[in-house]
Chains A and B, each alone.
Chain A
Amino acid sequence: MNHWIILPILVPAVVAPMIVLAVRHDIVLARIFSVASAVIMLLLGGILMGMAADGQTQMYALGNWPMPFGIVLVLDQLSALMLVLTAVLGLVVLLYAIDGWDRHGRHFHALFQLQLMGINGAFLTGDLFNLFVFFEILLIASYGLMVHGGGPARMRAGVQYVIVNLVGSSVFLVAIGLIYGVTGTLNMADLAVRVPEVGASEQALLQTGALLLLLVFGVKAALVPVHFWLPGTYALAPAPVAALFAIMTKVGAYSIIRMYTLVFGDGAGEMAGIAADWLLPAALVTLVVGMVGVLASRSLGQMVSFGVIGSMGTLLAAVALFTPAALSAGLYYLLHSTLAAAALFLIVGLVVDRRPGLGDDLVVAPTFAQAGLIAGGFFLAAIAMVGMPPLAGFLGKLLILDAARDTDAVVWIWSLILATSLLAIIGFGRGGSTLFWKSSAVAGRLETDGVPESGALSFVAVGLLLAALVFLTVFAGPVTGYLDATAAQLFETRSYIGAVLD
């Protein structure tokens, strides 16, 4: 048994109460603890990725109960990859937040650590009910973070966000109940063994459970028709929180990939491929809704939020093909879209800080401090987001188009991805030129009271995210090599089942 696997959950679980109990009155100490924990998680992510790189699935039985009765954590290449992505994003967002944002409310750092703990747990667990518990942990931390700093509009968007997710949790429990009632287990590896053996009389119950599960993960992943909570939440959340939330939609995508390759994948007998028929149309509609929303947005935050919806559509369209090549392309796009969306949300935060009274509304107004630098960052991040060459978004879309070439849905996927990319280019082009370019034609200058809060460290955070995007582009070869192995491992379900149950 490999004890490293539980550390990404334990470290934030220990640090968060320490911040609440010991250093809550000293923001500097809280920052030191928080950043140290994020650095440790990044190191752990690297170590675990190294351990998973040989293609062996490893497991950690909590309490050392015999399988399949105990709760199990499982490390494979996909989990390791998601852990590293979370740690990178968490560290960068934390750098932005300690520039001053964490002072706006209390307990920012403790909530932030708990959020990371929930996300790491969701990526590591090999048990369906445990996945529900980690979802709740990351959600309850996100409720606190979402309304950090307060304000009427943000509070009300927060209430909406909580209610939608509580309904989602109820549906999740119903799905778990149905699946347990039919199969008698909640261990994912054991489920993969039992699902093909379910008799014909209980197929209907199991199908209902499997599709309800897809609905729940769809809520998390902002899939149409359950995407409506995302624009209000992300656009009204504080900038660093919105940037961290970029990984939250990917938790939904990860769960879809995990469940519908392992449990309801090719080996599931009657249930094989149950998700694909629903996922592909939903993903394509999501893509269109997101990119049309980009075109119609009235503020930059809203525009980026709809961009996130659109990118989730692209990502899930690739996932819905359920072939190794498409999944590998989808994972590459997942890495890219998380980083690009986070960079854009942080840039929105920089803009809001410097336009008093206007925020990020897309109206022509006089120029503001450091407009040139911010415009440059926005230009790069927007290029990545819409998928224009030379950055990673272009490569990601190219890989997805290439992977879709031999499938039945090729016409739909090609035409919609290409057409919506044009919409996104127009939308982000309009947003950028309204905010940055046209402002030079207006006399005067917007001045903030004193120095804007987000200073040098915030620019470093944005720069790091952009550098990560460039890294992803330059080292696309090795990265896709790793992702090909990851996708191959996902379809080799027998090694996963063997690692857990034997």
Chain B
Amino acid sequence: MEFIVASSVGVLTAAGVYLLLRARTYPVILGLTLLTYAVNFFLFAMGRLSVNLPPVISDEALGYADPLPQALVLTAIVISFGMTAVVVAMALRAYLESDSDHVDLSRSEGSEKADHS
């Protein structure tokens, strides 16, 4: 199980970083999503991996799974979900307004102040 979890975190991160380094917004957003999946997996594993252990107190329990990472992952999922929605909306708007979905600013844009409208 350790191998599966570790390698899936690794593969997701590698794919995410690769996509992040692309020049257009759509792959970059996909890359961000993969990266957040990897991070969620990672957070989940930080309470140590265990099978069939209860997270809340019970009399028959031999040990406990750490409940805190699960709460943290939930928060992280909610936040990253909201953030992904924001970045998709902003990328669409930027594409519609400037007719280009390249991530980088061109040389002229870097120095030109946005129109004061």
Contacts and interface: CB of A to CB of B under 8 A. Distances in A.
Nearest to A237: B114
A170 B39 contact: yes
A447 B75 CA distance: 52
B60 interface: no
A167 B111 contact: no
Interface string B28-46: 1000100110110011011
Nearest to B84: A166
B117 to A, nearest CB: 7
B42 A232 contact: no
A157 B98 CA distance: 12
Given A155-B98, A352-B116, A167 B46 contact: no
A196 interface: no
Contacts of A153: 98, 105, 109, 112-115
A215 B111 CA distance: 27
Interface stretch (A249-257, A296-304, A430-438): A296-304
A236 interface: yes
Nearest to B87: A162
What secondary structure prevails in chain A residues at the interface with B? Answer: helix
A152 B98 contact: yes
Contact of A151 (B43, B105, B115): B115
A136 interface: yes
Interface residues of B, number: 44
Contacts of B103: 159-160, 163
B113 A177 contact: no
Interface residues of A, number: 46
A339 B32 CA distance: 35
Contacts of A149: 114, 116-117
Q: Which of B76, B82, B115 has the most CB of A within 10 A?
A: B76
B53 interface: no
A163 B32 contact: yes
B79 interface: yes
A159 B117 contact: no
Contact of A181 (B20, B46, B86): B46
Interface string A131-152: 0010010001001000101111
B79 A136 contact: yes
Interface in B63-103: 68-69, 72, 75-76, 79-80, 82-83, 86-87, 90-91, 93-94, 97-98, 100, 103
Interface of A: 104, 129, 133, 136, 140, 143, 147, 149-160, 162-163, 166-167, 169-170, 173-174, 176-178, 180-181, 231-232, 235-236, 297-299, 301-302, 352-353, 359-361
Given A162-B87, A174-B39, 4 more contacts: A159-B94, A159-B103, A166-B83, A352-B113
